[in-house]
Structure 1
């Protein structure tokens, strides 16, 4: 399973392999013209003709070992910006970074100040024999570089996110108000259980405090449906969704759906001050999401959710 961080690192390795040869060849040509700014500008200009990723390369420039820019900014459209010569770039993270033995590395992704798009900078050490002379840098538009098809997988770990501090500060000045959904909660849970188990809903969020439900259907996952309480309680709501077998790729066992929904009810009712405002279940990735009256949110695998008792939820509140 690829975690979020592992996926980012694997994509950076792909880009390093993809860009490394080009940057290495460019550094050798820069070494030959070192000391002559006009020559270096021309080397960078000509480099676009030898770069398969020229459309993605936003600009090229050269800095010395102290981070002072020696060349113009040379753009893919052939324009030169000589006004950048002499600027101090030593504080930029990709200039002050420890250089690996290969002399090549990629910056972290950052946002362009010009067009507010994601960029990444490829940096190659320029050597004259064994002497380090400086660096040649290439800014690339991230959206135009090659991608890998495998996305990061969901992190099936417990995450807690704190909400609005003003809500937490006044927590003990409030108490749960019974909502219309609370008054019919057993009927609501029965309907949601049927929609998930038999009607192709793979992700359901119950907004207990505002008496509505948001549903995502397996056959049409890019659009969600919002139902107010009257619609949820209408037995005909099930006719609005096609009869479907329970998904084979669901991580949540079919017989656990109702138990999870019942646990939502328990968290809603067990305490008058710290109570569940909204809860969601995604049966495909097996994640339960909870939002409490203190505005704190939890995201956790359903297995852990079902193991946690009252002392966990309210002993640590």
Structure 2
């Protein structure tokens, strides 16, 4: 997981920790006062659910982490959970170790298989001895998160692909596709669609002679163009003319340079060559997939700065397997 994504998740957990620990700590006194009376405890938890609109289940455990109430849900009591031993559940580890309040890592719930969290409040007597635990289960989609949209880093990212493909890299050679036969015309056409016809993301699949396009006017649906479509300049008539967006991360006059570089990578070597490449003008990210199944994601300007000898280097292509001597 990237550092930026870890930071975004950690921030949400910090906010949740503060909010949920405060909410559960308010239930301590009522639970202690009714301890030993299952009916009274379940009534207290039912009332508490009204103040926790984002909680899925509340329940109480004894000092050995065995459940002494039903699961209290918004729809009523679920008595089948009474007596359940939760000592081995991962979300109990910190509480059993002595944490006054703990918030679990996200996990998939056993029954509904949905991303969930469990908060556990440790309950003690006045003399500090352990009384039991208050547990609260939450569905991630119901939690009061800030819901700030995670922003993907634009740092160069390279990923290794299928080991079987990498292992056979030097035992296969590139075969010209239909697209390769008219590659200059097709690249010019795609560049024109991006500069003047509202295409903000275009991916070229050189080996299968097709392209996938996303348009500003209809971003939720992609279009697939086959070789015959890509060979006909009249395809531009099917896409309304649109001004190049001011928000684009790559200047309009550099779009063609990216596609020209795709052509060079496609024919640079018989073993190591580009299988597919894409450009998103809104975030300026270029993606590449090579014959070794290695993938790269980088900014357009960083991509244009790379020479062919960089891509032919085994360390850059993430193709580590070599043929047997």
TM-score over 0.5 (shorter chain): yes
Is contact 1:71–1:82 with CA below 8 Å preserved after alignment? no
Q: Post-superposition shift, 1:74?
A: 2.7
Q: Deviations over 1:104-126 (max 9, x none)?
A: 34222221221122222122222
| 1:92 match | 89
Q: Once structures 1 and 2 are overlaid, which stretch shifts more, 277-286 or 39-48?
A: 39-48
Query: Relative to 1, partners in 2 of residues 1:52 and 1:293: Cα closer, same or farther, differing over 3 Å?
Result: same
Q: How many residues align?
A: 312
Matched, 1:146 2:144: yes
Is contact 1:107–1:121 with CA below 8 Å preserved after alignment? yes
Query: Relative to 1, partners in 2 of residues 1:138 and 1:214: Cα closer, same or farther, differing over 3 Å?
Result: same
Q: Post-superposition shift, 1:29?
A: 1.7
Q: 1:211 aligns with which of 209, 212, 235?
A: 209
Give distance in 2, aligned partners of 1:285 and 1:129. Answer: 58
Q: Once structures 1 and 2 are overlaid, which stretch shifts more, 269-278 or 167-176?
A: 167-176
User: What is the TM-score when the length of structure 1 is the normalising length?
Assistant: 0.89
Q: Deviations over 1:72-129 (max 9, x none)?
A: 3333322232554251x23333211379999334222221221122222122222333
Q: Post-superposition shift, 1:289?
A: 1.0
Q: Post-superposition shift, 1:42?
A: 3.5
Structure 2 gaps of 5+ residues are 320-325
Give distance in 1, aligned partners of 2:95 and 2:18. Answer: 19
Matched, 1:114 2:115: no
Give distance in 2, aligned partners of 1:86 and 1:145. Answer: 25
Q: Once structures 1 and 2 are overlaid, which stretch shifts more, 287-296 or 210-219?
A: 287-296
Matched, 1:246 2:244: yes
Q: Once structures 1 and 2 are overlaid, which stretch shifts more, 265-274 or 68-77?
A: 68-77
Query: Relative to 1, partners in 2 of residues 1:83 and 1:283: Cα closer, same or farther, differing over 3 Å?
Result: closer
Give distance in 1, aligned partners of 2:155 and 2:42. Answer: 50
| 2:51 match | 51
Q: Post-superposition shift, 1:312?
A: 3.0
Matched, 1:186 2:187: no
Is contact 2:70–2:77 with CA below 8 Å preserved after alignment? no
Q: Once structures 1 and 2 are overlaid, which stretch shifts more, 264-273 or 114-123?
A: 114-123
Question: Aligned to 1:45, what secondary structure does the other structure show?
Answer: helix
| 2:296 match | 298
Matched, 1:81 2:90: no
Is contact 2:273–2:290 with CA below 8 Å preserved after alignment? yes
Q: 1:103 aligns with which of 92, 100, 104?
A: 100
Q: Post-superposition shift, 1:210?
A: 0.5
Query: Relative to 1, partners in 2 of residues 1:80 and 1:190: Cα closer, same or farther, differing over 3 Å?
Result: closer
Give distance in 1, aligned partners of 2:220 and 2:278. Answer: 17
Query: Relative to 1, partners in 2 of residues 1:100 and 1:16: Cα closer, same or farther, differing over 3 Å?
Result: farther
Q: 2:222 aligns with which of 224, 234, 258?
A: 224
Is contact 1:62–1:136 with CA below 8 Å preserved after alignment? yes
Matched, 1:127 2:163: no
| 2:199 match | 201
Question: Aligned to 1:312, what secondary structure does the other structure show?
Answer: helix
Q: Post-superposition shift, 1:34?
A: 3.2
Name the Cα RMSD after superposition. Answer: 2.5
Is contact 2:95–2:120 with CA below 8 Å preserved after alignment? no
Give distance in 1, aligned partners of 2:30 and 2:218. Answer: 54
Q: Once structures 1 and 2 are overlaid, which stretch shifts more, 287-296 or 123-132?
A: 123-132
